[in-house]
Amino acid sequence: MDEAAVRRALGELEEVEDLGGGGQGHVWRVRQHGQDTVLKVIPGAEDAERVRREAESLRTINSPRVMAYHDTTVIEDGGQRWPAIRGEYVPGGTVADGLQRNERPTVEQALKCVRGVLEGVSAIHSHGLVHRDIKPQNVALRKGDWEQPVVLDLGLVRDLDNSITRYPEMLGTLPFMAPEQLRLERAVKRTDVFAVGALLMFILTDELPYIDSQADQGLDSDGLRRAMLARSEQPDWPRWAQLQGQLDQDVAELLALLVATEAYERPTVERSIELIDEVLAARSS
Active site residue 216: no
**H/E stretch holding 140:** strand 139-141
Catalytic residue among 36, 133, 161, 220: 133
Q: Are 95 and 176 in contact (CB under 8 A)?
A: no
Cα–Cα distance between 107 and 113 in angstroms, integer? 10
Cα–Cα distance between 116 and 199 in angstroms, integer? 12
Residues 6+ apart with CB under 8 A from 283: 107, 108, 250
Sign of the alpha-carbon dihedral angle for 231, 236, 241, 247? positive
Residues 6+ apart with CB under 8 A from 197: 114, 209, 255, 257, 258, 259, 266
φ and ψ of 74, to 5 deg: -125, 130
- The torsion defined by the Cα of 267, 270, 271 and 273, in degrees rounded to 10, comes to 110
Tell me which residues are annotated as active site: 133
